[in-house]
DNA sequence: TCGGTGTTTTAGTTTTGGCTAAAATATAAA
DNA sequence: TTTATATTTTAGCCAAAACTAAAACACCGA
């Protein structure tokens, strides 16, 4: 009657691989060995090895030299972790006074240690936020995820009125300085901007914020800001 | 100039062993292979193996067949974990609405995943509590620990007026029912009691609480309650 | 002092998840 | 179409922690 071979819960390594594939593949889609290796700072040979195990476990479809994509089970496991990660980041920022650029690293470890019980109680305490501090949508318990309606700030045109939707916080954790800079200037999700100039020549984007302050953002900064068109009725 | 061989941070296994030795040895003192094996639900051979590694790492003094005791470094490592554990339990109970009997298991995992930064921010958020929900003192950052001034309820005498100091929550997690029973009746740390009768015959202790309600506690219940003599000026 | 019993250690395996070096394959350029 | 380069896999190795089975030891009672 009881399941003979009880599957152990995914280890943190397994979880991080599944999550990496999800992020690289954009939800569906496929991820190559090298991409995964780079993202996880691990040797390609280690990835090949792990992909074999993930296949056994039913988390990925994988044939050699073909790259890997998530199965439905893998996708759900990834979303479970993403939900935890983003809820934890929200908690760290709002309740523990962490700064914007520090939350990711801590969440990256904690996401593997908390229970489902902890996660849902935390969600309740935070009053079921829809987005994390970076503006990323938080998956629901059932694995559903709000579609991404944002586009890069660089793709806007002069005169447009937009809302900062999210700020990319790449994987390496090496773009902390960017987050610090943007955070100090109030260029955070929810902030309203008017695009002044998008200069193709040097990739500089000039924006004006709600307080009338003008910001000239170089390519690196501009590329990490994602916006959506401002509509009077926006922002839940 | 830089430390050639960078010591990796203690794994959760290492941490749990060190903590077990600390608990078994009562801070100082020694713990036998079997005691550790029983407490961690691990084979004695595994303990022997780990004790060798802990010795290499400088956490314990250990000679075969002699049992193990913590070095100063090991003691500090244990206290670091105990501090985390007890702060986390407090948080789970007071902010996430966990029930008394559930906090230990979650804390047992989280204590290995949180950073020092997290721990100290949590302590601040909790306003630096002195004791955890079970009444156990929380070690300070420097590793100092309030002395235990409590004695078993069974060692009291009829007529004594006492304060519940702590409630033992043994290791196995198998005494959840005891915690539930005591919690439901408000027999928690800080509660004032008057001892009615301590019956040697069957080990039953009868106490009366602040509301005048009388409780007849069998040996198992009585043994898990620790008290200290009530003094008007007690309880910070 | 001698056994017997329980404790501890040794020896040998296993699983997980890394690594390097070398071989195989794919892909893009000539 | 051939070749150079980049990617991926294979093979072999290692460390941490667990396990079992068997041997060694300690200690207590007769
Ligand atoms: Mn993050
Ligand atoms: Mn992670
Ligand atoms: Mn506990
Ligand atoms: Mn633990």
pLDDT of residue A173: 58
Residue B171, pLDDT score: 65
The Cβ of residue B191 has, within 10 Å, a number of other Cβ atoms equal to 20
pLDDT at B204: 94
CA–CA gap between residue B188 and residue B115 (Å, rounded): 30
Torsion of CA A55, A56, A58, A63, to 10 degrees: 20
Distance CA B192, CA B234 (A): 11
Cα radius of gyration rounded to whole Å, chain B:
20
- DSSP label at B29? S
SS3 B60: strand
pLDDT of B3 strictly over 80: no
Where does the pLDDT of residue B234 fall: very low under 50, low under 70, confident under 90, or very high at 90 and above? very low
Give phi and psi for B84, each to the nearest 5. Answer: -60, -50
The Cα of A118 is separated from the nearest Cα of chain B by a number of Å equal to 8
Domain boundary among B112, B132, B147: B147
Mean pLDDT, residues B146-168 taken together: 92
Q: How far apart are CA B215 and CA B195, in angstroms?
A: 10
Q: What is the pLDDT of residue A3?
A: 44
**Residue-level pLDDT at A26:** 86
In this structure, what CATH number is given to the domain that contains residue A157? 2.30.30.90
For residue A179, the model assigns a pLDDT of: 84
pLDDT top residue among A171 and A75:
A75
Last residue of a domain, one of B120, B147, B174: B147
Domain span at A3 = 1-147
Contacts of A155 (CB under 8 A, 6+ apart): none
Residue listed under structure tokens 């390496």: A172
pLDDT for the residue B230? 84
**Quick one: B72 and B13 in the same domain?**
yes
In this complex, the residue with its CA at the shortest distance from the C1' of nucleotide C8 is: B65
Indicate the pTM of the whole model. 0.91
Protein residue at shortest CA distance from C1' of C18: A46
Amino acid A59 CA to nucleotide C15 C1' distance, rounded Å: 19
Point out the domain boundary residue: B101, B125, B147: B147
Q: In this structure, are A137 and A158 located in the same domain?
A: no
CB A192 within 8 A of CB A180: no
Residue A236 lies in a domain: no
C-beta atoms of A122 and B97 within 8 A: no
């Amino acid at each position: 009657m009881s399941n003979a071979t009880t599957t152990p819960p995914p280890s943190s390594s397994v979880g991080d691989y599944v999550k990496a594939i999800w992020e690289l593949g954009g939800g569906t889609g496929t991820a190559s060995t090298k991409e995964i290796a780079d993202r996880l700072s691990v040797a390609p040979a280690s990835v090949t090895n792990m992909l074999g195990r993930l296949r056994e476990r039913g988390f990925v479809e994988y044939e050699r030299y073909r790259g890997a994509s998530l199965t439905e089970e893998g996708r759900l496991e990834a979303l479970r972790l993403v939900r935890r990660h983003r809820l934890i980041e929200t908690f760290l920022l709002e309740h523990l006074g962490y700064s914007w650029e520090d939350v990711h690293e801590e969440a990256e470890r904690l996401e593997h240690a908390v229970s489902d019980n902890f996660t849902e109680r935390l969600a309740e305490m935070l009053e079921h936020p829809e987005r994390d501090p970076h503006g990323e949508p938080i998956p629901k318990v059932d694995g559903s995820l709000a579609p991404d309606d944002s586009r890069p700030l660089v793709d806007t045109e002069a005169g447009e009125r937009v809302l900062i939707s999210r700020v990319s916080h790449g994987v390496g954790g090496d773009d902390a300085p960017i987050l610090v800079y943007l955070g100090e200037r109030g260029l955070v999700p929810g902030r309203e901007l008017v695009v002044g100039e998008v200069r193709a020549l040097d990739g500089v984007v000039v924006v004006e914020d709600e307080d009338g302050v003008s910001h000239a953002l170089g390519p690196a900064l501009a590329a990490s800001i994602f916006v959506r068109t401002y509509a009077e009725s926006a922002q839940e």
